[in-house]
Chains A and B, each alone.
Chain A
Amino acid sequence: MIKIAGLSRTFQGKSGTVDALHNIDLDVGNGEFLAVIGRSGCGKSTLLRIVAGLIPPSRGEVLVAGDPVTRPRRDVAMVFQRPALLPWRSVRENVMLPVEIFRWPRAKHRDHAQRLLEMTGLEGFADRLPHELSGGMQQRVSLCRALIQRPKVLLMDEPFSALDALTREELAVELQRIHIQLGTTVIFVTHSIQEAVLLADRVAVLSARPGRVRELVDIDIPRPRSFGHNAHLEEVAAASAELHQLLLGEHLPETPAAT
């Protein structure tokens, strides 16, 4: 579904050129959930924005469904770190925003919006304004707004990082359910090992300055997974330990890798 080939991106900083991403090669299969994990400043958000067509690469290219990405596509939807809702629009009208902008017939998508709100437990809040909702609910609205595009690819940029710990877990579990249900291809940028292990089929670990793919880790744990009691505690622990090791390196004692 997504093919990233020889992708590099440099920025002109005040103190010279900064290598944000260096020679990234990645293939994401149809329906795959890829988590991109790395420490702050490793260029993972930049990678996502290039795939989204929001910024151009300096070298290399990104193909989505076989076509090179030069600008944002309608079948690629984005969920940002913050909900980015319009404060004067009701929940339903916020979800319908892409429909309006694409000039799709509203009537045809109203039911879809309603189903998405039901799927995310927001059916009772369709006519509320964003500020009447909790942070977690606002982020659900922004997920619905992305899903109304019926995207082939969903790009998520640390979508849960502004939420409190319990809400994050709740939303991550919900996202897993939605992904199983819809089978959308997802690239999910995060710095939470826990979220990566819960959600991803594969995890791309990025190293910083310049951002490169340090390791691709397969997470072979049957779904649905959960944060709490789990039939696969050992695999979860092993995958988490491996990611810890890759991200924090020498700061941790040697842990046997599981894959």
Chain B
Amino acid sequence: MTDKTTDAGPRRLWFNAGLPALGVVLALALWWLVTIAFGIEPFWLPAPSDVVEAFLRLPGHLTEQAGMTLMTTAVGFAIGSIAGAAVAVLFAASSTIERMTMPLIAAINAVPKAALAPLLIVWIGLNTQAKIVMVVLLCFFPVLVSTMAGLTSVPNDLRELSHSLSASWWQTFVKVRITWALPQIFVGLKVASSLAIIGAVIAELTNPDRGLGAVIVSSSQSADTPLAFAALTLLALMGAALFYLVVAMERILVPWTRAISS
């Protein structure tokens, strides 16, 4: 803990919430100023006011498309994370399976997932499932790797403790390893939360029938840059919200992490 966090109320609030807010406001002001000072056309770079205007032009449409993207993102993130964690548990249980499949999974991960988007359409079709699969592919690996790292990072003294109590593999797993791994799992979940949005957008750009990705495609075709920016802003807000949701879950589930790591 630094000295700054021990300061009393208002100063801490200013430090934790005030300064970040000020940063955002200043950046927006600078953006606005640049568009006015250099007389930049909204076609090239819309001012913040143009973006808000574009959103207010089609609020229902944008919210609906955002909802679709959010659904794809959330479902894919949930499936990918659960699958990643489950496979990590399987690997922890059986080194045979790990040895056999780990190189394969690493190789699959090395394939740029964006390049698979057209193939997913061939395999699965022009539907939401194909989009969800893209998100799953992106979320799976970081959660797998971080869960494995967490499960294998149990310190020696705790291993020896459970050995000396003759704890079964399952008891050790449930009472020690999985909880010990939680902080690491959350590292993977945070990475996956950002990748999930990317996956959804890649899928929507490839098959632009719905979602904010489709809005970006159609608005750039009609040279409606402010509308594209409105979609981008919604994507950014969605990504940030998902990320902080994971952070909030972490604080609730593993309150002891910050205490022992500081």
Chain A interface (Cβ < 8 Å from any Cβ of B): 52-54, 71-72, 74, 77-78, 80-82, 84, 86-88, 97-98, 100-102, 129, 131-132
List B contacts of A81 (CB < 8 A).
157
Known: A88-B254, A131-B256, A131-B260. A82 touches B157 (CB 8 A): yes
- Distance from A160 Cβ to chain B, minimum over Cβ atoms (Å): 15
Say whether A100 contacts B175, CB under 8 Å: yes
Given contacts A82-B157, A100-B175, A101-B171, contact A87 B260 (CB under 8 A): yes
Flag if B176 contacts A74 (CB, 8 Å). no
Find out whether the CB atom of B163 lies under 8 angstroms from the CB atom of A72.
Answer: yes
A78 lies within 8 A of B164 (CB) = yes
Docked pose: A98 CA to B171 CA in angstroms: 11
Which residues of the partner chain B approach A102 to less than 8 Å between Cβ atoms?
165
Q: In the complex, what residues of B have CB within 8 A of residue A82's CB?
A: 157
Of chain A, the residue at the smallest CB distance from B253 is: A88
Given known contacts A72-B164, A78-B164, A131-B260, A84 and B254 CB-to-CB distance under 8 angstroms: no
Q: Is the CB of B259 within 8 A of A97?
A: no
Size category, B interface: 10 to 19
Q: Does B90 contact A (CB under 8 A)?
A: no
The answer to whether A86 touches B176, judged by C-beta atoms less than 8 angstroms apart, is yes
- Is B206's CB within 8 Å of the partner chain A? no
Contact with A along B145-186 (1 / 0, CB 8 A): 000000000010110111111110001000110010000000
Report the Cα distance A54→B175, complex, angstroms: 20
What A residues does B167 contact at CB under 8 A?
101
Known: A87-B260, A88-B254. A97 touches B164 (CB 8 A): no
16 cross-chain CB contacts under 8 A: A72-B163, A78-B164, A82-B157, A84-B157, A84-B158, A84-B160, A86-B158, A87-B256, A87-B260, A88-B256, A97-B165, A97-B175, A100-B175, A101-B165, A101-B171, A131-B260
Nearest A-chain residue to B254, judged by Cβ: A88
Chain B residues in 8 Å Cβ range of A52: 164
Q: Please state if A54 and B259 are interface contacts (CB–CB under 8 Å).
A: no
Say whether A129 contacts B256, CB under 8 Å: yes
Q: Which residues of B contact A78 (CB under 8 A)?
A: 160-161, 164
10 pairs of A and B residues whose beta carbons are closest in the complex: A84-B157, A84-B161, A78-B164, A131-B259, A101-B167, A101-B165, A87-B256, A72-B166, A82-B157, A88-B256
Please state if B179 and A88 are interface contacts (CB–CB under 8 Å): yes
B162 touches A101 (CB 8 A): yes
Task: Give Cα A88 to B176, complex, Å.
Answer: 10
Measured between C-beta atoms, what is the minimum distance from A99 to chain B in Å?
A: 10
Please, which residues of chain A bring their CB within 8 A of the CB of B171?
101
Report whether A98 and B165 are in contact in the complex, using a CB–CB cutoff of 8 Å.
Answer: yes
Bound-state CA distance A71–B254 (Å) is 34
